[in-house]
Structure formats: structure tokens, C-alpha cells
């Protein structure tokens, strides 16, 4: 008599979670809606929470009143208060943003508190701390004006050139 083979466990698929409090460790979720979300070494696609805390994890898109990321990555974040420590974020829109030893592509916030942060484009009224930027608010405005003027000239020259035919 041959022993019955033990079936392989199926890989957990990302899930939709809706609850008051969500604690996730070494897991994944597609959509999470909760008042409090705490995730450690986890991957989240879309999160909507009052308070969201991620340690050594990744979030594709997050909306939260309070968002804290420690050694993690975020695609797009919208928050009232955002804190990222030793992390990476592509886009941030927040009332108050704090980045410590972190990198960001675009940060839009009335107040930014940055400590040893590298930011591609920074649009903020008030900036505190040490930051390296590619474009700050003034440089972004000048670059936008220059790009608009260049496009306008090209279009104008195109009309002149077509008018000669």
C-alpha cells in the first residue's frame, strides 16, 4: 500500500480586508480598509486607513490620516501627517511630511521636515532640515515656465512654416 501524497500548500493570494484593526506580518493584501493598519514585512496594494504603520514592507498606494513607514517603500502616498524613516517613496501629498534618511521622487506638502533626505522635486511652503533636491519650488516654477515657453515657440514656428506652403 502506497502512502497518500501530501498536497502542496497553495500560495496565499492577495486579499481584500475590511476591519477596525489589521495586523499583518509577512503577508500580502490587495485592498485594505481599516481604522488602524500595522504591517511588518508585508506587501500592500491599496490601503485606506486612519493610521497606517509599515515596517520593512511595501505599499503601492496609501491614503491615511497618519502614515508611518520604517525601512519600507511606497509608490503613492496621500496623508495628513507622513513620516518615512530609511525608506523610499515615489509621490507624497501630505499636509506635513517628515523624511529621515530617505529618498523621494516628488514631495508636495505645505510643511516638510527633512533630515538627510534626497528629493527629486520638492514643492513646499516651509522646509526644515537638510535636503538635497533636483528641483525645489522656485526651480520647478522656472522649469515649467521655460518648458511652456519652448513649446509655445515650437508651435508658433510650426504655424509660420506651414503658412508658407
Q: What is the pLDDT of residues 9-60, one digit of tens each?
A: 444 445 899 999 999 999 999 999 999 999 999 999 999 999 999 999 999 9
The reported pLDDT for the residue numbered 14 is 59
Contacts of 121 (CB under 8 A, 6+ apart): 105, 106, 107, 133, 134, 135, 140
Is the model's pLDDT at 93 over the cut of 60?
yes
Q: What is the pLDDT of residues 102-142, one digit of tens each?
A: 999 999 999 999 999 999 888 899 999 987 776 666 777 78
Is the model's pLDDT at 165 over the cut of 60?
no
CB 65 within 8 A of CB 75: no
Give CA–CA dist 88/117, Å, rounded.
10
Give CA–CA dist 133/105, Å, rounded.
9
The reported pLDDT for the residue numbered 137 is 67
Cut 0.85: pTM above it: no
The reported pLDDT for the residue numbered 86 is 97
The reported pLDDT for the residue numbered 26 is 93
Rounding to the nearest 10 degrees, give the CA dihedral for residues 71, 46, 77, 57: 0
Nearest to 28 by CA among 46, 5, 6, 10: 46
Is the model's pLDDT at 94 over the cut of 90?
yes
The reported pLDDT for the residue numbered 77 is 96
Amino acid at each position: 500500500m502506497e502512502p497518500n501524497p501530501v498536497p502542496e500548500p497553495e500560495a496565499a493570494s492577495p486579499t481584500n480586508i475590511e476591519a477596525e484593526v489589521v495586523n499583518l506580518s509577512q503577508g500580502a493584501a490587495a485592498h485594505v480598509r481599516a481604522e488602524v493598519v500595522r504591517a511588518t514585512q508585508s506587501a500592500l496594494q491599496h490601503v485606506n486607513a486612519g493610521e497606517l504603520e509599515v515596517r520593512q514592507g511595501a505599499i503601492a498606494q496609501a491614503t491615511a490620516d497618519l502614515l508611518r513607514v520604517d525601512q519600507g517603500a511606497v509608490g503613492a502616498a496621500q496623508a495628513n501627517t507622513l513620516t518615512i524613516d530609511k525608506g523610499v517613496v515615489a509621490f507624497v501629498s501630505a499636509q506635513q511630511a517628515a523624511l529621515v534618511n530617505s529618498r523621494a521622487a516628488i514631495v508636495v506638502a505645505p510643511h516638510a521636515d527633512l533630515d538627510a533626505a534626497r528629493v527629486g522635486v520638492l514643492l513646499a511652503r516651509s522646509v526644515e532640515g537638510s535636503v538635497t533636491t533636483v528641483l525645489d519650488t522656485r526651480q520647478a516654477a522656472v522649469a515649467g515656465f521655460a518648458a511652456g515657453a519652448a513649446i509655445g515657440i515650437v508651435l508658433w514656428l510650426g504655424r509660420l512654416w506651414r503658412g508658407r506652403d
